[in-house]
Structure 1
C-alpha cells in the first residue's frame, strides 16, 4: 500500500505569472508534468493576456526556460477569475504572486473554497513568515500549506528552501519535497520559519557588508570584485558584478523586507544603510544589466567601451584591471586575510562579518551547519559554504581574530573549540553538531556520489587523466580527470586497460565524472602542438587510437552506460554515442562541434549518428533523409541546450534516460547498467546504405547556396565538402552497403586532410586563444 509520500504529482497549478511564477511553471513542464498557469485579468477583451504573455516570454527567454518544445506545450494559461476552480484538477498549487500579505490572504480564501482537501498549497515567498500566511485559515488549509522558496532562474538554480509549519502535514511535505527533488532536480534544504530563511538572509548580509566595506575602505569596484570573487570561492562576478546581475533595485526591497521582520537585536540592522550613490543610480535607471548600466556598463556611444562607476565621484570611467593579488592569496584564505593594506582589510571585513553572522543563525534558523552551507553553495553559487570557509581559515584563528577585534563569538564556534566543522572518519564525511559530537553526513536515498566513494577507496587503476573506480554491486565507473575532462592519449590508454579488466571482474561499466563538464572534447592544445611540429604520424595515431578505444567500449562483453552532465562536446559526444545506453543529466549540452574548428568527427561519431537517424521513425525511406539530417547537425556544430533537445537531435535515443537531479545521476546510471547486464550481448556491427557521389553533390549544392547568401564562409565550404564525402560513403554508389570499418576509414581520411589545411589550423589556434570560433 503506497503512502502519500510516494503518490505521483500529476498536475500543478502556478498562480502568478511573473518572472518567478512563470519560471517555476516552465520547470514543472520540463519534468513532463502538465501545468496550469494563472494570473489576474487586466484586459477584459483578452482575459488570459497576462499568463499568455508570460508564456510567450518564456519561449524566447535566454538562457532557455524550457528544455524542449514539447515541454512548452504542457503549460496551459488562464486567469484567476475564470479558472480558479480548476485547481481541483491539481495535486499541487504554487502561489507566486506579489509579496503583499493582504493579496495572499484574499487568494487563499478563494483557494480554500475550490481546492481538493489534501492538495498541497505552497507559497514561493521569501519574505513573509509562514505563521502570518496561514493566519485566519482553516485547520485543513493550514495542514496542507507550507513554503517552497525557489531561486531564479528556477530551471538552473538547484536550491529549494522548504519551510513547514507546526500544523503542516509531514507526509504531504515529504511527498512534494520528493517530487521537487526527483522530478524538478532540486536539492531540498529544510529551513525554519525565520525571516529570509537561509540563503537570502546570509546572502543579503554578505552583499551589504561587502558594499559597505568597499565604500568605507575606498576601493574601486574592480578591486573589490577581484578580492571578493574567485579567491573566496565566489563566482567571478564578485560583489558589484553580482549586484548588477540580479538588479541594483532589488537591494532596497531586500533591505526593507528584512529590517521589517528581523528581531531588533539582529546585526543586519546595523549594516542596512542607504548609500546616496546607489539611491541615485536606481533613480536614474542604472539598475544593472537589465537597466542602462550599473556598477559596470558598456558605453556604446564610446565605441562599446567597458566602464565602471567611481564609488567616490559617482562618475563612469574606463574599466581598469586591478593589481593582481599574490598567487598564494588567490588560493589560500589565510594568505588573503594576511595581506597588508586595503586588500586584507577588505577580505576580513567581508569574511569576518559574514561568517560570524552565519554562525549566529544556529540553531534559530537551521538545525545544523550542513543546511547553511548547502543553501549558500546552491543559492549563491559559492564554492564553499560559510562553515567550510571557517575550516579553510582555521576555526581557532578565526575566533582569535574575532576576540582581538572585540567581536562576539557565536556559540557554535565555542562548541567547536577550534575543531573543524567537517572531517573524514573511516571513509565517511562527518559534520560537527550543536551537541559537540560528529555525525555522519547521510545522503538521501537514491543519491550516490563518486566524491563519497573516493573517501574510503582507491582507484582500481589511474593515470594523469583518468581513473577507474569500483562503485559497488559489480559496476565500475570510468572517470575523466583532465582539465575540462578533455580527451587525450592518457584517457584513451586507460580505456584500453579498463575493458579487459572490467570484463574479468565486473558486470558493467559507467562512464561518469563530477566535473562541470562531462568532456569538452579532444585536447586541442595537444593537436595544435602536433600540427606545429608537423607530427602528422602522431595525429594519425591519435585518430586511429580514438576509434579503436571507442569501438572497444561499444563491443565490450559488458554493457557500457554513459552518464553525461554539462558539456559533452566533440570526442566527449562520441563517447556518449558509443555507449549501449545513456543516462543523461537534464542539463547536458551535447554536440559534435568539430566543424567549428575546421575538422570532422574522427572517432566514429559520423557512423553512430547515421545509425541513429537510419533507425529513426518518421523519416522518408531511402538513404538521403538520414544523411541530410546528420549533415545538417554536424556541419552547423549544433549543440543541444538540454538532454531533452539532445534526444530530438539524435544524440540520445528514445530509449535513453534523463535524470533531473544531478546528485542522482550516478545511481540512476548504475541501475541502468545492472539492468542491461542480465543476459547482455554486444551489438552487431552496423552497415550503412549511403547515397554516394550523387548525394554528395546535392549536399555541396546546398552549401553553395548558403555561401551565396553569406551564411557560410569559404572554409565552411571546404569542411562541409569533406563531411559530405564521409556521410555519403565516398565513391560508393547508391546500391552499395558501407561497412563500419569503411566509414571509419573515410573519417580518418577527411580528418587528416583537414588538419593539414591552413584554414583549419587558423581555426584551432583562434579557438585556443579566444575560446570563440573563427569565421574564415
Structure 2
C-alpha cells in the first residue's frame, strides 16, 4: 500500500469520533464503529449519536457540516467486514489492554493485506499491545497518538515497534502530514511518549509546588503562563479544560510504567485536595467546576478554589510583582527573591531538566521534544528554546545549585546554545554533541528561514516585502496582530510597483497567529475623536485605490491566510487573483460589529462573486440578499471550507491542511498563474436601486421588532442596503465598480461620524467584544 483512500475508526468516544471527523475534513471516506448498546433497538446508536453531537458541537469537529456525509456509521458486531475496504484502521477504544487485544484479533481476521492498524493509546506501551499477536499483524501496527480536539491540535505522535514495517510508518506519517495537517513527531515506545510525559510532569509539579508554597491558583497561573510563552490558562485553568478526572489515569500509568530511577517519581505524590474534587464531581469545565467555576447559585459569580482549605471563594485578579519586575527576562523571574520567583523556578527548573533527560529516551532529538510541547500543549517556545532564553550555562549552574541531577545533554552542551544560526541556516545540537542543520521536509517553505539568510526588499514599521525565490515576492504584515494601517497601505502600493518591475508574482502571507485582524481601529477612533474627517476619508480612499491596484496588477497575486482574516484582512483576500488558505482560516467582513461597513471594496467584491458564479436563482435580488445577510450579520467562516461556502474562496482556490506547507503551496499556485496571465475584467452590475433598499430595510425592521436587531443595527444595515441596492439606479441602468466603491466610501464616512458607531468602536477596543446598542 502506498496511499490511504479510506479510513476506519473503532471507538466513537470523544477522541475516536473527533479523529473520524477530521479524516472526513480531509475529504476521505471514513467508517466509524462502536459497540452495540445494551438497550434500545438501534444497534448503531453510539456511532450515530457521536456524529449527531459533533454536528452541534462548538468548537466544531467538522470544518464543514457537509463533511459528515463522508462518515459511514456502524457497530463492531454487524459491520466489522467494512474494514476490508480500509487502508488505515484506527483503534480508539477504552484504555484496557484486554479489550484492545481482543479487538485486534478480530480486526486481523477481516482487514485487507497491508492495511495499517494503529492505536490512539496514550498510556499503554506498544510492546504490551502486541503481546501474543502475530508477526504479520505487528508489521502493520503502530501507535498514532492524536491530541484532543483532533481537528485543532496539530501534533501527532507516531510510535513504531521493532517489527513495524518502515513503509507502514511512512504511509501513515505522510497522510497525517499532507492530508490531516499534522506535524508528525516520531517517539520511542516509552510511557506517555513525549508530550504527555513532559506535560504531565510539568502539570503535577505546578500543582504540588503551588500547594506547598501556599499560593493561590490565580497567581500560579499568571506565573506559569504568559511569562513562559505558555497559554494564559497556565496550569490550573488548563487542567479544568482537560478534565481533572483524566489525570489520575495518566499519572497512574506513568507511576506504574516508569522505572524507579525516573525523575517523575521525585516530584509526584498524591494530592488530597484534587482527589476530593474529583470524588465530589468537580472535574473541570465538563463537571460542576474545577479549580475555577461559575457559581450559578450566586448570580453566576466567578470563583476559585482555595488549595489549602478546598473551599471555593471569589476569584481574584492575579497580583504577581515578580512577573512585572522581571519584564521579559525569564532568568530574572527565576532568580526573583520572592515566593513567586521561587515558584517559577521550582516548577520550570525541574520541568526543563526533565525535558533534557528525555533526549535519547523518549525521543532521539531535541527538536522533536520542542515540537511536541509547542503543538501538544500550545507552548510558544519548546523547553530547549526556553533554556536558550536564559542561557544553557546559566541554567546548568542554577540546576546544580538547586541539587537537581544534571542531564547528559546539558553536560554535552557545556554552556553552548541548543539552537544557533550558522551562515543563515538554523542548526540544532545533536545527541552526539555536534550541530546539524534543521532540514525541513520536502514541500515546506518557511518565511522564518528566508529571513535568516536575506534582507527585505522593502520594509517599514507595519509590513515587509521578501524575495522567496523563483521570481516570487512575499508581502508580509508585521504590525501588532497584523492590523492594517496607512503604513501597510503605503508599503503595499510600493510593493506592487516593485513586483511589477522585478518579479513574476506576489504572495501575501505571514507566519503570525493571525493573517490580519483588519484595520487599526485605534487609529480610526483617534482620528474621529479629533474630527479628522478628511484624514479618515483619505484613508478609506487610499485603501480602495491600493486594493484595486493589487487586483488589476499585471502579475498574479495569491493570498495565503491562516488564523483570523477579518474586515480589511478579508478584503485583501477578495482582491487577490487566487487564495491558498490554511484549513484553519477564520474569515469574514465583520465591520458592522463596530458600527461600520466594509469600505475597502468588500461589499463590491462579494456582490460580484455571488452574481458571477451562478449558485443562486437568476436576477439581482438573490445575490444582493445573500451578501446583505452575510455582511449585516458579521458572518465569520470558521474554516476555509466554510469560506468556500460563503464564496470568500472561489472555485479553484486551494486549501492547505498543514500550516507548514502553506507558503510553498501558495508560491506554487502563483507560479502556475504566471504564463499568459491577464488581470481580471472589471465587473458591471445591474441593480434594482430603491426597491431593493426598501425590501432589505423591511427585513431588518422585522428583526428589530422581534428583538433580534438593535436600533443601531438598523442604521448600519440601512447604509449597507444602500450600497448593495446600487444607490440611485434601477434595473434599466448599470453600475460600475467605481460607482459601488463611491457608495461604500460615502456610507463609511456617514457611519464613522455616528456617535453609536464610535461607541461600538470604543467598546471593542476596551473589551474585545461587540456592543449591542
> How far off is 1:405 after superposition?
2.3
> How far off is 1:328 after superposition?
4.6
What's the secondary structure of 2:90's corresponding residue? strand
The normalised TM-score by structure 2 is 0.99
Q: 1:155 maps to which residue? A: 151
> How far off is 1:250 after superposition?
1.4
The normalised TM-score by structure 1 is 0.98
Q: 2:769 maps to which residue? A: 772
CA distance in 1, matches of 2:552, 2:589: 22
Q: 1:92 maps to which residue? A: 88
1:35 aligns with 2:50: no
Alignment counterpart, residue 504 of structure 1, candidates 496, 501, 504 = 501
Q: 1:261 maps to which residue? A: 257
Counterpart mapping for 1:319-718 below 5 A: 319-325=315-321, 326-718=323-715
Cα deviation 1:661-681 (Å, max 9, x = unaligned): 000000000000000011111
What's the secondary structure of 2:303's corresponding residue? strand
Alignment counterpart, residue 719 of structure 2, candidates 717, 722, 728 = 722
Asked whether the 8 Å contact 2:320–2:340 carries over to 1, the reply is no
CA distance in 2, matches of 1:341, 1:695: 67
1:25 aligns with 2:25: no
CA distance in 2, matches of 1:631, 1:229: 42
CA distance in 2, matches of 1:527, 1:621: 39
CA distance in 2, matches of 1:348, 1:426: 35
> How far off is 1:330 after superposition?
4.0
Asked whether the 8 Å contact 1:554–1:580 carries over to 2, the reply is yes
Alignment counterpart, residue 179 of structure 1, candidates 165, 175, 181 = 175
In the alignment, structure 1 segments of 5+ residues that lack a partner are none
> How far off is 1:617 after superposition?
3.0
1:123 aligns with 2:119: yes
Cα deviation 1:603-637 (Å, max 9, x = unaligned): 11111101110122331111111111000000111
Asked whether the 8 Å contact 1:246–1:288 carries over to 2, the reply is yes
Q: 1:11 maps to which residue? A: 6
> How far off is 1:307 after superposition?
1.1
> How far off is 1:406 after superposition?
2.5
CA distance in 2, matches of 1:510, 1:327: 40
Cα deviation 1:433-475 (Å, max 9, x = unaligned): 0111100000111111111110111100000000000000100
1:190 aligns with 2:210: no
Cα deviation 1:706-729 (Å, max 9, x = unaligned): 111111111111111111110010
Q: 2:283 maps to which residue? A: 287
Which deviates more, 533-542 or 677-686?
677-686
Cα deviation 1:242-268 (Å, max 9, x = unaligned): 111111111211111111111121121
Cα deviation 1:210-245 (Å, max 9, x = unaligned): 111111111111111111111111110111111111
> How far off is 1:44 after superposition?
5.8
What's the secondary structure of 2:32's corresponding residue? strand
What's the secondary structure of 1:297's corresponding residue? strand
Asked whether the 8 Å contact 1:703–1:712 carries over to 2, the reply is yes
Asked whether the 8 Å contact 1:230–1:330 carries over to 2, the reply is no
Counterpart mapping for 1:730-749 below 5 A: 730-749=727-746
1:230 aligns with 2:226: yes
Asked whether the 8 Å contact 1:117–1:140 carries over to 2, the reply is no
Cα deviation 1:20-67 (Å, max 9, x = unaligned): 000000000000001100000013611001111111111111101100
CA distance in 2, matches of 1:66, 1:406: 49
1:165 aligns with 2:161: yes
CA distance in 2, matches of 1:620, 1:196: 56
Asked whether the 8 Å contact 1:231–1:329 carries over to 2, the reply is no
Cα deviation 1:296-341 (Å, max 9, x = unaligned): 1111222221111111111111111232335352411111011112
1:67 aligns with 2:63: yes
CA distance in 2, matches of 1:209, 1:686: 62
CA distance in 2, matches of 1:463, 1:680: 30
Alignment counterpart, residue 107 of structure 1, candidates 96, 103, 107 = 103
What's the secondary structure of 2:121's corresponding residue? coil
CA distance in 2, matches of 1:294, 1:374: 29
What's the secondary structure of 2:515's corresponding residue? strand
CA root-mean-square deviation? 1.0
Following TM superposition, the consecutive aligned residue runs of length 4 or more in structure 1 with deviations greater than 4 angstroms are none
What's the secondary structure of 1:589's corresponding residue? strand
What's the secondary structure of 1:10's corresponding residue? coil
Q: 2:45 maps to which residue? A: 49
> How far off is 1:415 after superposition?
0.4
In the alignment, structure 2 segments of 5+ residues that lack a partner are none
> How far off is 1:597 after superposition?
0.9
